[in-house]
Amino acid sequence: MAVPDFQSFFKPLLDIAADGKEHSIKEAREKIAIAFRISQEDLAELLSSGTQTKFDNRVAWAKSYFVQAKVLESTKRAHFKITERGKQLHSQGHDRIDVKILNQFPEFVEFHHPAKQNNNNKTSPSPPQDDPAETPEEILQNAYQSIRNDLAGEIITHIKSNTPAFFEDLVIDLMLALGYGGSRADAGKSIGQSGDEGIDGIIKEDRLGLDVIYLQAKRWDGTVGRPEIQKFVGALHGKRARKGVFITTGKFSGEAHAYVKSIDPRAILIDGNTLAHYMIDYNLGISTSASYEIKRIDSDYFLEE
Q: Which of 59, 5, 71, 53 is nearest to 31 (CA)?
A: 59
Q: What is the mean pLDDT of residues 45-68?
A: 89
The closest alpha carbon to 157, from 285, 289, 246, belongs to: 285
Cα(170)–Cα(155) distance, integer angstroms: 12
Determine the pLDDT at residue 27. Answer: 96
CATH of domain 162-281: 3.40.1350.10
Q: How confident is the model at residue 248 (pLDDT cuts 50, 70, 90)?
A: very high
C-alpha–C-alpha distance, residues 225 and 232, integer Å: 11
What's the whole-number mean pLDDT along residues 229-241? 88
Confidence of residue 128 (pLDDT cuts 50, 70, 90): very low
In terms of C-beta density within 10 A (0-12 exposed, 13-18 middle, 19 or more buried), how is residue 226 classed?
middle
Q: Write down the pLDDT at residue 76.
A: 85
- pLDDT per residue as tens digits for the range 256-293: 999 999 888 889 999 999 999 999 999 999 988 778 78
Lowest mean pLDDT among 21-30, 147-156, 198-207, 278-287: 198-207
**How buried is 143 (Cβ within 10 angstroms: 0-12 exposed, 13-18 middle, 19+ buried)?**
exposed
How confident is the model at residue 43, as a pLDDT? Answer: 94
pLDDT recorded at residue 111 = 75
Query: With b meaning 16 or more CB within 10 Å and e meaning fewer, what string describes 64-91?
Result: bbbbbbbbbbeeeeeebbbbebbeebbe
pLDDT at 30: 96
**What pLDDT shows up at residue 277?**
93
| Band (119; pLDDT cuts 50, 70, 90) | very low
pTM of the model: 0.66
Instruction: Say how far apart CA 71 and CA 90 lie, in whole Å.
Output: 9
Contact 103, 40 (CB under 8 A): no
The CATH architecture of the domain made up of 6-117+124-134 is Orthogonal Bundle (1.10)
- In the predicted structure, residue 116 carries a pLDDT above the cut 70: no
Q: Give yes or no for a contact between 53 and 42, defined as CB atoms under 8 angstroms apart.
A: no
* Higher-pLDDT residue of 169, 223: 223
pLDDT of residue 84: 96
Q: What is the pLDDT of residue 102?
A: 94
pLDDT, average across residues 31-36: 95
Is the predicted pLDDT of residue 234 greater than 80, yes or no? yes
The reply to whether domains 6-117+124-134 and 162-281 share a CATH topology is no
Question: Alpha-carbon distance 82 to 18, whole Å?
Answer: 6
**Cβ atoms < 10 Å from Cβ of 204:** 19
> Burial code of 255-277, b = ≥16 C-beta within 10 A, e = fewer?
ebeebbeeeeeebebbbbbbbbb
Look at residue 127 and tell me whether its pLDDT is greater than 80. Answer: no
Residue 253 CB neighbour total at 10 angstroms:
16
Domain assignments of the chain as residue spans, ordered by start: 6-117+124-134, 162-281
Among 253, 248, 246, 250, which residue's Cα sits nearest to residue 269?
246
**Quick check: 212 and 241 in contact, CB under 8 A?**
yes
Residue 125 confidence (pLDDT) above 50: no
User: In which band, very low, low, confident or very high, does the pLDDT at 100 lie, cut at 50, 70 and 90?
Assistant: very high
Cα separations in angstroms, 114 against 38, 123, 135, 264: 34, 9, 16, 59
Predicted confidence (pLDDT) at residue 187 exceeds the cutoff of 70:
no
